[in-house]
Structure 1
Amino acid sequence: MRLLKKISLSVLLIFVLIVVFILIYGFYLKPKYDGEMVLNSIKKETTVYFDDYGIPHIYAQSQKDAMTTLGYVHAQDRLWQMELMRRIAPGRLSELFGSVMLKNDKFFAGLGMDEDSEKAIAQLDKNSESYQLTLAYLDGINQFLEEGPTPIEFQLVGVPKEKFTIKDVYNIFGYMAFSFAMAQKSDPLMTDIRDELGMDYLKDFGIDGSLAHTKLKSFKEKSEAYSEISKSVASLLENSPVPPFIGSNSWVVGPQKTKSGKVLFANDPHIGFSQPCTWYEAHIVTPDYEMYGYYLAGTPFPLLGHNREYAYGLTMFENDDMDLFLETNNPENENQYQTKDGFKNYQIIEKVIKVKDSSDVVLKVKKSHHGPLLNGLVDGLKEDKPISMWWTYLQHKNQILDAVYSLCHAKNVEDFHQSIELIAAPGLNIMYGDAKGNIAWITSGKLYKMPENVNPNFILNGANGEDEEKEYYDFSENPYAINPAWNYVYSANNQVEPIDDYLYPGYYLPEDRAKRIVQLLEPKNDWTKEDFMKMINDDQSSVAPSIVQSILTGINQNDLSETEKTALNELKKWNGSNALTDVAPTIYNQFLFYYLKNTFEDELGKDRFNILLSTHILKQMIAFQIANEDSPWWDNSSTKDKKESRNEILTLSFQQTISHLEKKVGNQVSGWTWNKVHTVEHKHPLGEVAALRSYFNVGPFEINGSNEVINNLMFTFTEAGNHQVKAGPSTRRIIDFSDVENSVSILPTGQSGNPLSQHYDDQAVMYNEGKFRKMKMNRKEIEASSRKLVFKPR
């Protein structure tokens, strides 16, 4: 009995010691939000107030001190995210995760972004303020890396600590720019359809821009199958531990249309969901500078920001800035390729990729004058059919650091406009509003015109010299609208009006969100911040009800079951809303999958059909194709003795939809509510391990919204009908220049990437409910509600 008692006491003691160790260890790993610290490189004492959501408000005597401090506090909340971000472009994820990331590393290492970063840095003015402030930011990161607690992810994965450099900053911006591009997904698929099925099958896709009915208006005072490329690149971006940029909304309303007579600004960039979330918020105040900004991990200047004078944000332009070329090898020498001037030697580069769980991999990259060959970088491409990739970002001087610095240091709208010329790529719609009543939409990107006979929606001929000809526009020709007569500007990734009678090619999203934004903005002239808060959460589709009407005309309604009749009535009365308790969106989105499958999969095959589901062009064409009785896609190519009609395909798809939903969510149509099938989970890379999922992931949650509504919570159509949200508003921001200190925002999860921080997920429920919190700028209010961390110079 005594022995048993001693054993029990020993076990209890061990358990208590383990608990105490975990508590002490956890306390040590938490971000430090109060007290005093010594910080190298700063000249004078700097104070950081962390508000009730963990957002740092940095008060410093110089911008350099502020940036060093920003680097430190950014790292203590997001060092793991910074580590992942800097490793993608140079192809260094396999060092952490092993061969599971080798495909990603081979692809990105082969593109050459790392080399482009080195070239850009060599051309920098080392005495410029943008360069010096970047070094100060990196100093702060590196001090935390050396002296701060090691993030738990570093310990679980085994991450060696390496100092951050300015090349990391450029590589992070480079990956961001690449994630915007869509050509590598769409062009090979369109080429396959053209070569195998003929141009008639492409009419429904409107690749000539004919489907873009709501266009952004400028206002100026003056036979080889190539879909393996699409499949591979789509898979790489899908499986990347850092999410791609996808779309976005923004609108800015001038004084003439607001109740206060001051500008109102809204922006919600759409990015793949992950944990930690994309943006880190920080408010910097010095005697000569103030900015409340949104930062990518590992970058010193905010891509979104505002102060008391102006606000700016962005959406994706979706312009085509990438071309794929089919090269022709010299039959006598595989290391040469055909050009209009004869054969030229490929540039051959060897790279070594270190892999955690196996031996190093030597990657041999061939480059033509167009760019790197994708053969060997993506699976499924034959060596005798070399495909190269030309990308604006890698072909022009890279001034992205100076450009982003200039955005957050502009003096007026004219200065802001000119700074955008520094961005050759990516193409962005950059939105602006200020306290003086100016509003603007300005596009970035080095735009060009191609010969009339060259269609950039297809893989081009790399040997003839004609397909590569480009006539570059002067930046003054880029679309923009500054203080337009209609008193508002907006962007929802939709097609712009023709530039010099040239409808600029791109991978634009459908008119749904743009049309809804215009519907709401146009008639109203007394907008308030509260109105914007409601509008940015709007989940009503402006186009879905008209698609439903097309569906209803095609379904044979004579022999429907009672359940099918009830479901059809839900669609008939639907106004396009996507609230949690709505039934119609569950029916509608499941129907769209079966309609798409029954219409396209027989010609494309399963793999290429899945590629189609991941493209913007699919979203563009649904409304048009589903109403087109003469579309060649209706016929099922696998039934040789029969030609199917539109009505047959739509009726079959509806019947399959109802049968599926009966099995999935029950026989009562009233129970088929949207919340049962539309959910979101913010996934951490380590959450892929089942035992760690609940610790690192945030969610899952039921959520409203849908594809291509203003509250754009996106999912890919699947037969299972589990509409798991993959992307959406990465923040919702509203700046009111009549009361700038009470402007509002929200993040999808929380400010901190440290799972031990109380700010890891403290905004998630608010975000899902469409709520907001203040972006505080009043110092007295900040001091009264914050924890205080003082950094002292050494």
Structure 2
Amino acid sequence: MKLLKKLLFFLLSLTLLLAISYWIISKSLAPDYSGEIKISGLQDKVTVFYDENGVPHINAENQEDAFKVFGYVHAQDRLWQMELIRRIAAGRLSEIFGKDLVRVDKLFSGLGIEEAAGKSIAEIDTNTKAYKLTSAYLDGINQFITEGQTPLEFYLVGVKKEKYTIKDIYNVFGYMAFSFAAAHKTDPILTEVKEKYGNAHLQEIISSFSENLTINKTQKNPEIGAKISEALNIIYEKLPVSPFIGSNSWVLAPEKTKNGKVILANDPHIGFSQPSVWYQSHIKTPNYEMYGFNLALTPFPLLGHNREYAYGLTMLANDDIDFYVEENNPENPSEYKTENGYLKYKLIDKTIKVKDGKDTTYQIKVSRHGPIMNDLIEQIDDQRPIAMQWIYTKLPNQLLLDVSYDLSHAYSLESFKQGAAKVHAPGLNIMYGDAKGNVAWFSSAKLYEVRDSLFRQTYLDGASGKDEILSFVDFEENPQAINPDWNYVYSANHQIDSIRGKLYPGYYQPQDRARRIVEVLESQEKFSKEDVKKMIFDVTSSTAPTIIKDMLTGIDVSDLSPSEKKVYDTVLAWDGTYAKNSAAATIYNRLLFEFYKETYKDEMGDGFNIFLNTQTAKKALAEQVKRQKSVWWDNVNTEEVETRKDIVSKVFKNSVAFLQNQLGENSDDWTWDRVTSVEHEHAIGKAGGVLRKFFNVGPFKTVGGNEVLNNQIFNLDSTGYYKVRSGPSTRRVIDFSDIENSVAVIPTGQSGNVFSPYYKDQAAKYINGEFVKMKLNKNEIEESENKLVFLPK
């Protein structure tokens, strides 16, 4: 009995000791949200009020002080996120995660992002306001590194804090630009289709590019007062920082709103992770105010609003990457052929430091078109040198200091447009609305012309000179809409209007979300903020019911069993709404996988799994389901020649059999919430076990699906389960009739510090389609419980 008491006492003591230790660690490593902090370089006192969502409201006498403090508070909530994202483009993830990330580092360090950053930095005008505020922001971050708490992750992975430079900031934008691109996922597959099976197979896929389109129309009125693909997909799965995907936005003119003022809605689609992508802040000085959403390690917000104007963005999805097949000199492999003779490759030596391993050294060849991808991706089995030309590294980069500063410091629609005109890559749809009643959309990118009939989504000829860029398009020719007479502008990564009489090539998403936006906006004359909040969480597909009807045309219903007939009736009656209790949504997505597999996999082989989840596959679907005759229907691995009826019947019966095995015989039980989930993974939480529970947020049941407005993006695969990997990185609704009550929500929380009360406090609200207020009212802000004062040191 005494032994049992001693053992119990020991266990209770140990538990108490662990609890006390955890409490001490959590308090010592948590961010400071109240009190006083002295930092050097301040001209005056700066006061920061933290609202109930952890958003810092920074009040300063001048912008230099405000941005210095912003750097400090941004770092104390998101330093680990800053550390990860700055290492990607520089090829430095292996330093902290070991050999498993060498492939990632080799790719990104070879793309030329750092070299392009160096060129841009060398040309910076250090006298501009943008440069001075960026320097202040960096100084704030670096003072936190010196004097603030070290995040837990740094101890766990054994990485020392290093000060940040302006090159790190440029590298962040370089990573963002590459993750926006889609050519590296698609072009190699389309090239393989063309070279193995001929032009007929390719044409059936790409003919869909000009069909089933919702065009983002141009109108300007006056202002009012993608083997490379497979390897890259594996690399992306290892990234510890979210890739950028797509987005929705619409801006309603006063004539389209119930209160007669502009309403802006925006939800950029980005890979889910923990911490969330955006960090919110509200900066106010006597001559400047902006409530902004910043990426890690960026001083100026890419999304923002104040009392005068609001702006947002979506991915343009224009094609800004081209792959060229180079031709080596047979007598000298260090040279490659051009129309003017042979040129020498530029050789660049790179070294990757590897934690607990030997350094990896490799050499990159660079042609006039860009790096030879065979040197960067070991899995490429093409013996031809494949060069990647990317507009981001080909042209000077103005995105950081000029564009993001101009957008967040505009004083009119015209000055805002001047900032939007400076974007060269990545291509962006930049959305605008203001208190005067102006609405605008700009397709912002350095677009270019090539010779007629050149299809840029397969490999180009690098030797002849015939496939080169002929000219760049002036920004005024880019598709854009300013105060259009239909009283709204919108973007859902869909096809932009014609340029010089031709649709501009790109990796645009299918029309689903764009069509749904138009359907809803045309369904009623005027909208309130509440209407827009409901719309941004909409989960109805505008195209799925039609695709189902077209796909199942020709099914012999008399050949179906009673259970199959029930499934057939259920999915045909579906209105496209991805509700949690929808069995039809589950059936539809299984049918999609089986249809893609039976149609394309026999020809594509290993490339099928990559093609399956590209924009190209999605766009081809609406046409392929309607084709009675197609070169794709026949299975090349069988002796008989299959017809459309053979394929569709097999697709349907295989789908039903799979779902019965997966979810049970009763199709009423095949509800969408049984097969979908979302979890926001932390880079360390990916290890699983206790770390997963400690760092990750979720998993949660969710509503929505691929290509609905509440875009829950998942990969179709053979498993029958749909783990949502991307979606709205924030939902924002800004109403100029009630600007102080504009709202937003982010997927998890403001802070990336696991000991912060704001680490995951918005997660439930986000899943349920709720919002929190973006405060601008001075009195409300100053009622906040947490007040942090910064004083000159």
Band of TM-score, shorter chain: over 0.9
Where do 1:452-471 residues align within 5 Å?
A: 452-471=452-471
8 Å CA contact retained: 1:67, 1:137? yes
Match of 2:98, SS state, is helix
What's the counterpart of residue 601 of structure 2? 601
The answer to whether structure 1 residue 777 and structure 2 residue 779 are counterparts is: no
Relative distance call for 1:66 and 1:662 in structure 2 (3 A) is same
8 Å CA contact retained: 2:221, 2:483? no
The answer to whether structure 1 residue 663 and structure 2 residue 661 are counterparts is: yes
Structure 2: which amino acid aligns with 1:666?
G
8 Å CA contact retained: 1:257, 1:524? no
CA shift at 1:256, angstroms? Answer: 0.7
| Aligned-partner Cα distance in 2 for 1:12–1:495 | 64
What's the counterpart of residue 648 of structure 2? 650
Where do 1:496-645 residues align within 5 Å?
A: 496-605=496-605, 607-640=606-639, 642-645=640-643
8 Å CA contact retained: 1:234, 1:614? no
| Aligned-partner Cα distance in 1 for 2:631–2:383 | 33
Match of 1:235, SS state, is helix
Match of 2:677, SS state, is strand
What's the counterpart of residue 179 of structure 2? 179
8 Å CA contact retained: 2:349, 2:362? yes
| Aligned-partner Cα distance in 2 for 1:684–1:730 | 15
| Aligned-partner Cα distance in 1 for 2:675–2:381 | 41
8 Å CA contact retained: 1:329, 1:384? no
| Aligned-partner Cα distance in 2 for 1:250–1:77 | 28
8 Å CA contact retained: 2:365, 2:375? no
Match of 2:213, SS state, is coil
Structure 2: which amino acid aligns with 1:268?
D
| Aligned-partner Cα distance in 2 for 1:552–1:595 | 10
* 1:236-264: CA deviation from partner (whole Å, max 9, x where unpaired): 22321111111100000100111111001
| Aligned-partner Cα distance in 2 for 1:356–1:205 | 44
What's the counterpart of residue 104 of structure 1? 104
Identical-pair percentage: 52
Where do 1:24-173 residues align within 5 Å?
A: 24-173=24-173
What's the counterpart of residue 684 of structure 1? 682
8 Å CA contact retained: 1:237, 1:243? no
What's the counterpart of residue 230 of structure 1? 229
8 Å CA contact retained: 1:209, 1:503? no
Structure 2: which amino acid aligns with 1:747?
I
* 1:611-656: CA deviation from partner (whole Å, max 9, x where unpaired): 101311111111110111111111111112x111111111111111
Structure 2: which amino acid aligns with 1:610?
N
8 Å CA contact retained: 1:211, 1:621? no
Match of 2:314, SS state, is strand
8 Å CA contact retained: 1:703, 1:768? yes
8 Å CA contact retained: 1:318, 1:506? yes
| Aligned-partner Cα distance in 2 for 1:120–1:212 | 41
Over the aligned positions, Cα root-mean-square deviation in angstroms equals 1.5
| Aligned-partner Cα distance in 1 for 2:706–2:388 | 30
* 1:451-499: CA deviation from partner (whole Å, max 9, x where unpaired): 0132101100100011113211111111100001111100011111211
Where do 1:680-719 residues align within 5 Å?
A: 680-691=678-689, 692-719=691-718
Where do 1:694-773 residues align within 5 Å?
A: 694-773=693-772
What's the counterpart of residue 326 of structure 2? 327
8 Å CA contact retained: 1:42, 1:793? yes
Structure 1: which amino acid aligns with 2:467?
D
| Aligned-partner Cα distance in 2 for 1:208–1:587 | 25
Relative distance call for 1:133 and 1:696 in structure 2 (3 A) is same
* 1:396-454: CA deviation from partner (whole Å, max 9, x where unpaired): 11111211110000110011111112211111000000000000000111111110132
| Aligned-partner Cα distance in 2 for 1:221–1:520 | 24
Match of 2:619, SS state, is helix
CA shift at 1:173, angstroms? Answer: 0.7
| Aligned-partner Cα distance in 1 for 2:505–2:454 | 11
Q: Which moved more, 1:39-48 or 1:199-208?
A: 199-208
Relative distance call for 1:209 and 1:623 in structure 2 (3 A) is closer
| Aligned-partner Cα distance in 1 for 2:322–2:200 | 23
What's the counterpart of residue 268 of structure 2? 269
Structure 2: which amino acid aligns with 1:496?
I
8 Å CA contact retained: 2:609, 2:717? no
8 Å CA contact retained: 1:207, 1:457? no
| Aligned-partner Cα distance in 1 for 2:71–2:55 | 14
| Aligned-partner Cα distance in 2 for 1:740–1:152 | 38
Q: Which moved more, 1:371-380 or 1:582-591?
A: 371-380
What's the counterpart of residue 495 of structure 1? 495
* 1:280-328: CA deviation from partner (whole Å, max 9, x where unpaired): 0111111010000000001100000000000000001100111000000
What's the counterpart of residue 412 of structure 2? 412
* 1:18-52: CA deviation from partner (whole Å, max 9, x where unpaired): 32122111111111111111122211111111111
Unaligned 5+ residue runs, structure 2? Answer: none
| Aligned-partner Cα distance in 1 for 2:323–2:356 | 34
Relative distance call for 1:708 and 1:363 in structure 2 (3 A) is same
| Aligned-partner Cα distance in 1 for 2:636–2:231 | 26
- TM-score, normalised to structure 2, is 0.97
CA shift at 1:219, angstroms? Answer: 0.6
Relative distance call for 1:8 and 1:568 in structure 2 (3 A) is closer
What's the counterpart of residue 379 of structure 1? 378
Structure 1: which amino acid aligns with 2:652?
F
| Aligned-partner Cα distance in 2 for 1:193–1:89 | 31
Where do 1:334-413 residues align within 5 Å?
A: 334-382=333-381, 384-401=383-400, 402-413=402-413
Match of 2:503, SS state, is coil
| Aligned-partner Cα distance in 1 for 2:530–2:422 | 36
CA shift at 1:6, angstroms? Answer: 6.3
| Aligned-partner Cα distance in 2 for 1:261–1:11 | 66
| Aligned-partner Cα distance in 2 for 1:21–1:293 | 37
| Aligned-partner Cα distance in 2 for 1:737–1:551 | 45
| Aligned-partner Cα distance in 1 for 2:11–2:272 | 43
Match of 1:252, SS state, is strand
| Aligned-partner Cα distance in 1 for 2:622–2:366 | 41
8 Å CA contact retained: 1:302, 1:404? yes
CA shift at 1:689, angstroms? Answer: 1.5
Relative distance call for 1:700 and 1:13 in structure 2 (3 A) is closer
Relative distance call for 1:14 and 1:538 in structure 2 (3 A) is closer
CA shift at 1:379, angstroms? Answer: 2.4
8 Å CA contact retained: 1:493, 1:508? yes
CA shift at 1:204, angstroms? Answer: 2.8
| Aligned-partner Cα distance in 1 for 2:17–2:705 | 49
Structure 2: which amino acid aligns with 1:561?
S
| Aligned-partner Cα distance in 2 for 1:485–1:370 | 43
Structure 2: which amino acid aligns with 1:55?
V
8 Å CA contact retained: 1:45, 1:790? yes
Match of 1:503, SS state, is coil
CA shift at 1:669, angstroms? Answer: 1.2
Relative distance call for 1:8 and 1:246 in structure 2 (3 A) is closer
| Aligned-partner Cα distance in 2 for 1:761–1:5 | 40
8 Å CA contact retained: 1:587, 1:657? yes
- TM-score, normalised to structure 1, is 0.97
What's the counterpart of residue 436 of structure 1? 436
CA shift at 1:213, angstroms? Answer: 1.9
CA shift at 1:208, angstroms? Answer: 7.3
